[in-house]
Amino acid sequence: MDLNRDAMLVGLNITAWSGRIYDREASDHVAAHHDASASAGRYNKRLLPKAAFAALTSTMSEARTKHYEQTLPWDDKGARLLTVANYEHYTELMNALRERVVRQRARFIEDYDDYVDQARLDLGKLFRIEDYPSKEALQGKFAIRYRITPVPDADHFIAKLACHDADRVKRDIERHIEEQLHDAVGDLYRRLGDAVERVSDRLQEDENGKPLVFRNSMIENIRDLVDVVPRLNIFADDQLARLCEQVKEKIAGVEPDALRPSKTFDPAARAQVKRNADDLAEKFAGYFAPPPEPVRKAA
């Protein structure tokens, strides 16, 4: 594997106006009314009705979720690892979400005056028109951006180091990159393992012997995972690939209605999927099991 050829780094930046503002005068008034210290609390006003932000907030949240689903962990500075195999899918998703934000922002600005009029009623004496940005300013307050950069290699970092330090630093950097890649693959095992375990948990019965509620999202999440994991399997990890295929075959292909009381409920199918999920959950758990303690010889 050539990391610089097979992957890249991607950072996601989401800009969103909260629509809230600190009101010092109201905070001081509340503190005085209750004989409290001025530092005892803060009054933050909601400038617009919560519903005004609903569509934009939902899209921003979806963008953040998709960004994590379609990439692998890399560092603690916000960068994520994006494989070349998943580049096209990732950019299609994020570009569609960016375009949706543009449309929703335009609708938000179109309705802005109505929202402000409603806030005037909701806030009463707390309303101050100077708290509200102009429509022009709102253009830059909602956006989704992503930035793709190459994965730096060890030689990039050591170019200016003294010769006697170069080899040691290069080894340290290469070891750190290997650890990050191992963690990235481990993240895929965790994602699949957690999803399978959730399915197993929901296929139990309550204290009265009735099946627990089983929602469509349980299977939909599994289907999304078995779709993306092969594109993120940067090491071509055979064990991960086999487990992913088993999850796809034994769980992802089942219709949710067959697993819960419905017209097509199949108790036998539910029991089989439960057994499969338990078996797969055990295999994933084995991946994270600590190594056995060395056998100590008797003195």
Determine the pLDDT at residue 36. 85
Q: Give the total number of structural domains in the chain.
A: 2
Last residue of a domain, one of 149, 179, 210: 149
Under 8 Å between Cβ of 119 and 189: no
Residue 26, Cβ density class (10 Å: 0-12 exposed, 13-18 middle, ≥19 buried)? middle
Count CB atoms within 10 A of the CB of residue 47.
22
Q: Whole-angstrom distance between the N-terminal and C-terminal Cα of the chain? A: 46
Asked if residue 50 is part of any domain, the answer here is: yes
Which candidate, 269, 285, 247, places its Cα nearest to that of 203?
Answer: 269
pLDDT tens-digit series, residues 10-57:
999 999 999 999 888 888 888 888 888 888 888 899 999 999 999 999
Last residue of a domain, one of 134, 149, 164: 149
Average pLDDT of the residues in 163-170:
58
pLDDT at residue 1 greater than cutoff 90? no
- What's the CA gap between 265 and 126, in Å, rounded? 56
pLDDT band for position 101 (50/70/90)? Answer: very high
Angle, helices 267-287 vs 238-247, to 10°: value is 160
Asked if residue 86 is part of any domain, the answer here is: yes
Q: Are residues 131 and 191 in the same domain?
A: no
Q: Are residues 137 and 23 in the same domain?
A: yes
Count CB atoms within 10 A of the CB of residue 63.
21
Determine the pLDDT at residue 158. 47
pLDDT tens-digit series, residues 114-165:
999 999 999 999 999 999 999 999 999 999 999 999 887 655 544 455 555 6
Asked if residue 292 is part of any domain, the answer here is: no
* Helix (DSSP H) and strand (DSSP E) numbers for the chain: 11, 6
Q: Are residues 40 and 24 in the same domain?
A: yes
In terms of residue numbers, what domain contains 61?
3-149
Torsion sign over Cα 159, 164, 167, 173: negative
Q: Are residues 125 and 162 in the same domain?
A: no
Q: Are residues 184 and 235 in the same domain?
A: yes
Q: Are residues 123 and 215 in the same domain?
A: no
Torsion sign over Cα 200, 216, 184, 187: negative
Under 8 Å between Cβ of 200 and 274: yes
The SS3 assignment for 279 reads helix
Determine the pLDDT at residue 100. 97
Q: Are residues 108 and 190 in the same domain?
A: no
pLDDT at residue 293 greater than cutoff 80? no
Average pLDDT of the residues in 275-292:
80
Q: Are residues 191 and 167 in the same domain?
A: yes
Query: Hunting for tokens 């439960």 — which residue is that?
Result: 274
Q: Are residues 185 and 126 in the same domain?
A: no
115 or 6, which is more confident: 115
Q: Are residues 159 and 74 in the same domain?
A: no
Torsion sign over Cα 32, 36, 42, 43: negative
Query: Hunting for tokens 């469509």 — which residue is that?
Result: 216
pLDDT band for position 180 (50/70/90)? Answer: confident
pLDDT tens-digit series, residues 197-252:
999 999 988 888 888 888 999 999 999 999 999 999 988 889 999 999 999 999 99
Q: Are residues 195 and 231 in the same domain?
A: yes
pLDDT at residue 96 greater than cutoff 60? yes
Last residue of a domain, one of 132, 149, 166: 149
Query: Hunting for tokens 């707390």 — which residue is that?
Result: 126
Determine the pLDDT at residue 169. 53
Q: Are residues 276 and 206 in the same domain?
A: yes
128 or 173, which is more confident: 128
Count CB atoms within 10 A of the CB of residue 115.
19
Determine the pLDDT at residue 299. 47
Q: How many CA atoms lie within 13 A of 73 on its CB side?
A: 15
